[in-house]
Amino acid sequence: MNKNLAVAAMALAVAAGSLVATPAAAQFAKAEDAIDYRQSAFTVMANHMGRLSAMAKGEKPFDAASAKASAQLIQTMSKLPWEAFTPGSDGGFSNVKGDPWKNADDFKSLQEKLMAETAKLPDAVGSLDGLRKQLGATGSACKACHDKYRAQ
Ligand code: HEC
């Protein structure tokens, strides 16, 4: 590869990198797409919280391997909804209340609290006691935000 080509290839790589960094709003063509995306992420996360909860309550036998798989998914899913809270996406089939956009700092700190708790889940669910404790802490972080920003 000659030198000019190498420089051009690097410039392309940099340009591709900047595409990844486009503002969140640009990732969703319509407000409905953003609402769909975040509700889907919440739905998957809640499903796996439910699986852990069934073990915590003894409705399902404790199984460390599947608890860990759910915990890892919850940790991953807990990072996803936030970029989809694009400004103006509070209409339609959204159940947002209390204006998370006007209270952006508070909304963000509630997200961070959740992600801090879900980050502890994969290690915590190695035992039933650990699962119960960290599931409770995680559930409280869900509730703290829902009380303020999710219409029931
Ligand atoms: C920082 C705030 C926040 C946190 C933390 C949070 N949620 Fe939510 N959640 C919301 C908001 C806001 C909505 C409403 C979104 C909408 O309808 O546009 C919502 C909606 C949902 C929905 C309904 C999805 C649908 O299909 O309508 C479920 C289920 C849900 N959350 C589960 C959870 C679970 C489980 C956790 C914790 C593991 C959690 N959420 C943590 C803010 C939060």
Atom of ligand 1 nearest to the CA of 93: 17
Query: What CATH code is assigned to 30-149?
Result: 1.20.120.10
**Predicted pLDDT of residue 13:** 56
Place of tokens 């009380």: 147
Q: How many angstroms separate the alpha carbon of residue 78 from the centre of ligand 1?
A: 10
Amino acid letter for position 46: A
Q: How many angstroms separate the alpha carbon of residue 40 from the centre of ligand 1?
A: 10
The pLDDT tens digits for 22-64 are 566 678 999 999 999 999 999 999 999 999 999 999 999 999 9
- What is the model's pTM? 0.87
Of 42, 111, 112, 145, best ligand 1 pocket probe by most atoms within 8 Å of the beta carbon? 42
Q: Which residues pair with 96 in a beta bridge?
A: 150
What Rg value do the Cα atoms of the chain yield, rounded?
19
Higher pLDDT, 21 or 78: 78
